[in-house]
Amino acid sequence: MFQPGEYIHHATSGLCRVDEITKLDLSGSDHDRLYYKLTPVDVRGSTVYTPVDNHKVAMRPVITTEQAKVLIQSIPSIEAFHSSDDKVREQMFKEAIHSVDCRDWVRVIKTLYERKQSRLSRGKKTTSTDEKYFRSAQDKLHGEIAFALGMRKEDVEGYIEKLILDDPVPAGETAI
C-alpha cells in the first residue's frame, strides 16, 4: 500500500502524489472500501480517486534516480517492437502506453523513430497515429525521468543523448 506523500505512476493519470487514503461517502459506493486520493503532477487542480485494491489500473512507485540513470544507459540495448501488421503494431503501442513500464515506452519511441526515418527516406510523411503514440510515450518517459532526476521535462532529451554517448551501459547490466 502506498502512503500519503509518496509519488506513484498511475497507468491512466501518470505521475501522481498520494494525498491521502480515505473512504468515499458517495451514493452507490462501498462505504468500507479504501481509496487513494491522488493529485496528478502535470494537471493542476485535478484529483483522482482510485481504489487501493484496484487491480485493473496498474500503479507503481516512481523510479529512483539510480533507476533512471540505468534505464537511460540501457536504451541502446532495448529492442524496438517488430510487426509488419499495422493493427498488431498499434495494439502493441496501446498496451505499452497504458503499461507502467518505462522500457515499454522506450520500445514505442524506438519503433516509431525507426519507422519515421524509413518513411522519410522513401519520401513519405509520418502518420498522425504514429505521431500520437510517439508523443504519448515520450511524454510519459520524459516526465518520469525528469521527476526522478529533479530536472525539467524539456531538458530530458538532451540529457539522455549526452548520457548515452558519454557512458553506455556495461554489458550484462540491465535497467529496471
Task: Render pLDDT for 72-114 as a digit per residue (tens, 0 to 9).
Answer: 999 999 999 998 898 999 999 999 999 999 999 999 999 999 9
The C-alpha atoms of residue 69 and residue 102 are separated, in whole angstroms, by 12
Contact 169, 74 (CB under 8 A): yes
**Identity of the amino acid at 93:** F
Q: Assign residue 89 a region: left if phi > 0, alpha if psi is -120 to 50, beta otherwise?
A: alpha
**What pTM does this model have?**
0.86
What was the pLDDT predicted at 26?
A: 74
- Taking the CA atoms of residue 88, residue 92, residue 156 and residue 151 in that order, the dihedral angle to the nearest 10 degrees is 150
What was the pLDDT predicted at 55?
A: 86
The C-alpha atoms of residue 129 and residue 131 are separated, in whole angstroms, by 5
Q: Is the pLDDT of residue 172 over 80?
A: no
Q: pLDDT digit string (tens) for 134-147?
A: 999 999 999 999 99
Q: Which of 27-31, 69-73, 171-175 has the highest mean pLDDT?
A: 69-73
What was the pLDDT predicted at 167?
A: 55
Q: Is the pLDDT of residue 31 over 80?
A: no
> CB burial class (10 A; 0-12, 13-18, 19+) of residue 79?
exposed
**107 or 54: which carries more pLDDT confidence?**
107
Banded pLDDT at 32 (limits 50, 70, 90)? confident
- Taking the CA atoms of residue 150, residue 40, residue 63 and residue 109 in that order, the dihedral angle to the nearest 10 degrees is -90
